[in-house]
Amino acid sequence: MQDHTLALTLELDWLQCVLDRRLEQHFQQQDLDLAAAGPLPELPPGSALGELIVRLQLSPAERVVLALALAPHLRPAMLDLLFMRNQNLDRGFTEFGGLKAQGHGGFLPTGETAAFLVAGEDLAARVALLACFDAGHAFARETLLSLETPASGEPQLSGALLASSEALQRLCSGTARKPDFSAQFPAKRISSPLGWEDLVLAPEVMDEVQQLCAWMREGAHLMQDWGLARALKPGYRALFHGPPGTGKTLTATLIGQVVEADVYRIDLSMVVSKYIGETEKNLARVFDQAQSRRWILFFDEADALFGKRGAANTANDHHANQEIAYLLQRVEDFPGMVILASNLRSNIDEAFSRRFQSMVYFPMPDAEQRLRLWQQMLAPEHLDADVDLELLAQRHELAGGAIANVIRHAALKAVRAGRQQVRMQELRAGLARELRKEGRTL
């Protein structure tokens, strides 16, 4: 921790020298000279910032931009000098850029602030600075900082210069924090205590699933060493479809587990908005953060977002079609794995269907698979002597999720009665409850 703190202190001290010297040059009408601020600080080799600068080979100008994005979080008073007013015009200096926050009392830098420090009046240097905010730049690839999109019609560099929370965590502590579910990040990392041996699928379905695992392990090798990048788009898109409770979500979670990749389930309730453009903006937050990470994005109940397009007879229809077109573009361009899950394949727009590399159907389990599910979920010591799991598996067609609900109901009944074993009558009562949900009877 001391190495990380020392590195940030040295870098911010240098930024303070850059700022002081740049203001002096500006008011004395001298040419911009970053070197006049003193030598670049030598950072501790074990620090996260020091290793980052070496690995990305950041130039002095790029280091200024990164330090400037970090300053409001780590040393906010440093930028108060830029609040000074132009006496001739009785307002702030346009060339300083900056924004005033709602709750924060300090100066928030913008792209214009960065241009003032590293480009000055040099138009070529100003144009070169724009590359720092491109999607292909290391700042975006590593999710270090971004330039907020300004309001319509305003200059590009007037957007706020924002350091990511992940970058702050990584540079301050040396460990990267996984993003948390919030209004700004409408996705939640999902995991399961179950393992691969707990997944009960037909052999042909399991083979399809193994294909997805193979791509996660060997996709980069195939694209680069086999030269497939010339013919194939990066990324992998799969559709899981089938009745509820057949293991679609668990399968997506276990794929991430076996290939050591985080699986993020998109929360559609926080993504979909009735306001024009908000749905696209909410999704962009997830895709932008996932762009450079080895994540699996999982869209459950995907037909809510990826449903069929219709004739644009009204403004609402036109807006819905625009949303689907935007989704299609982001999913197709995403370099990682995207898994969509739906109960009905027919609900998914055909434009998406043509772009799936895998379409995996999860059928209802057969009698043998149902017996395995019953046996895996109910330990023998908790079964009364009258329980016949083979009979239940043979007679009642249920998905794994429904079987789990039956067992939950029976176990609660047994515990309430002061027993440690479930009886056949309790399992039958649970079966009746579950079948009624589907409009069936025992």
Q: 82 is written with which tokens?
A: 């830029």
Can you tell me whether residue 187 is helix, strand or coil? strand
Per-residue pLDDT in tens (0 to 9) along the chain, 442 residues: 789 999 999 999 999 999 999 999 999 988 888 888 889 999 998 899 999 999 999 999 999 999 999 999 999 999 999 999 888 888 889 999 999 888 888 999 999 999 999 999 899 999 999 999 998 899 988 889 999 988 888 999 999 999 988 889 889 998 877 777 666 678 889 999 999 988 999 999 999 999 999 999 999 899 889 988 888 888 899 999 999 999 999 999 999 999 999 999 987 766 766 666 677 777 777 888 887 788 999 988 877 666 554 544 555 555 556 666 777 788 888 889 999 888 877 777 676 677 789 999 999 999 999 999 999 999 999 999 999 999 999 999 999 999 999 999 999 999 999 999 999 999 999 999 998 988 887 7
With H, G, I as helix, E, B as strand and everything else as coil, classify residue 235.
coil
Identify the CATH number of the domain defined by range 187-361.
3.40.50.300
Cα-based torsion angle of the residue sequence 340, 343, 347, 349 in order, rounded to the nearest 10 degrees: 10
Q: Which token pair is 91? A: 């307002």
Q: Which CATH architecture has domain 367-437?
A: Orthogonal Bundle (1.10)
> Residues near 47 by Cβ (< 8 Å), separated by ≥ 6?
3, 4, 6, 7, 8, 174
Report pLDDT digits (tens) over 290-317: 877 889 999 888 776 665 545 445 555 5
Q: Which residue has the tokens 């109960």?
A: 343
Q: Where are the alpha helices (DSSP H) in 303-366?
A: 303-306, 315-333, 350-353
**Closest to 427 measured CA to CA, from 402, 194, 369, 418:** 402
Q: What is the pLDDT of residues 73-96, one digit of tens each?
A: 999 999 999 999 888 888 889 999
> What are the boundaries of each domain within the chain?
2-173, 187-361, 367-437
Tell the burial category of 25 from Cβ atoms under 10 Å away from its Cβ (0-12, 13-18, 19+).
middle
